[in-house]
Amino acid sequence: MNKKERNDDLPCTKLTLNLRTLAKAFNALVRLFNYTKETKMKFPKWVIPVAIIAILLLWGISQYNGLVGIQEQVNTQWSQVENQYQRRTDLIPNLVNVVKGYASHEKETLEGVIQARSKATSTTINASDMDEAALQRFQQSQDALSSALSRLMVVVEKYPDLKANEQFRDLSSQLEGTENRIATARRDFNNAAQSYNTHRNQFPTVVVAGVCGFRERPYFTAQAGSDVAPTVDFSSGK
C-alpha cells in the first residue's frame, strides 16, 4: 500500500492517471453521442460543444491544481535552504568576535568574513520569482562566504589557545552542523525542483503551465567538492 502511494506521487504516474481520466470522459461523451444517434434522441445542438468545453475546463483545473501542489513543495524546500543559510549567518558575528579576542591582528581575514556575510545577507530571492540568474547570484554570494570562512579556518590553526576556547569550540560545532544541514537542504531543493520540472514539461501539462505562467525552476549547480559539506572543525588539539 505504501509503495502504491509513493508511486502515485510520481509526475509520470499522475500524468498517466490524468490522461486516462480525460480519455474516459471523452469515451463516455462519444458513447452518449452514438446512443442518441441510434435512438434518434434529440438534444439541442449546443449540448455536445458545451460538454466538451466542460470536460476540458475540468481537466485544465485538475492540471493547474496539480502544478500548484508540486510548486508548493519546491517553495517549502526553498524555505529550508533559506533557514539553514540564515542560521549560518547568525552564528558568524559571535564567531568573529571570539576570534578577535585571540587574533585581532588578523584584520584582513576577519574583514573578509564580515564583508562576505554582508553581501550574502543582502542577496535574497523571492521563491515565486526565482530564475536561474537570481539563484546563481544567491549561490555565488553564499559560496563567497564559505570561502571566507575556509580562510578563517586556516588562520585559526595558528592559535592553539583559540581552538581550546570553550565558546569557540561550541560555535564551531554549531557551524559544522549547519554546514551539513545546508548541504542536505540544497540537495532536497534540487530534488523537488527536478520533480516539478519533469511534471511541468510533460505534454499536455506543459500547455497549462505555459498559459498559467508556471516557469521552470533552476537548480543549485555542483562545484568541486560540493557533494561533501565543508569541514568546520576546530576542536582538535593537535
* Chain segment 11-43, per-residue pLDDT in tens: 444 545 555 666 666 666 666 666 666 666 666
The pLDDT tens digits for 216-230 are: 999 998 765 444 444
Q: Which residues contact 17 (CB under 8 A, 6 or more apart)?
A: 8
d(CA 159, CA 218): 42
- Given a contact cutoff of 8 angstroms between Cβ atoms, the answer to whether 145 and 116 are in contact is yes
Map out the domains of the chain as residue ranges.
2-212
pLDDT at 55 over 90: no
| pLDDT score for 237 | 44
Q: Give the Cα separation of 201 and 199 in Å (integer).
A: 6
Quickly name the fold that domain 2-212 has.
de novo design (two linked rop proteins) (1.20.1440)
Query: Which letter, b or e, does each residue of 41-70 get, where b requires 16 or more Cβ atoms within 10 Å of its Cβ?
Result: eeeeeeeeeebeeebeeebeebbbebbeeb
Model confidence pTM above 0.85: no
Kindly state the average pLDDT of the residues 116-128: 92
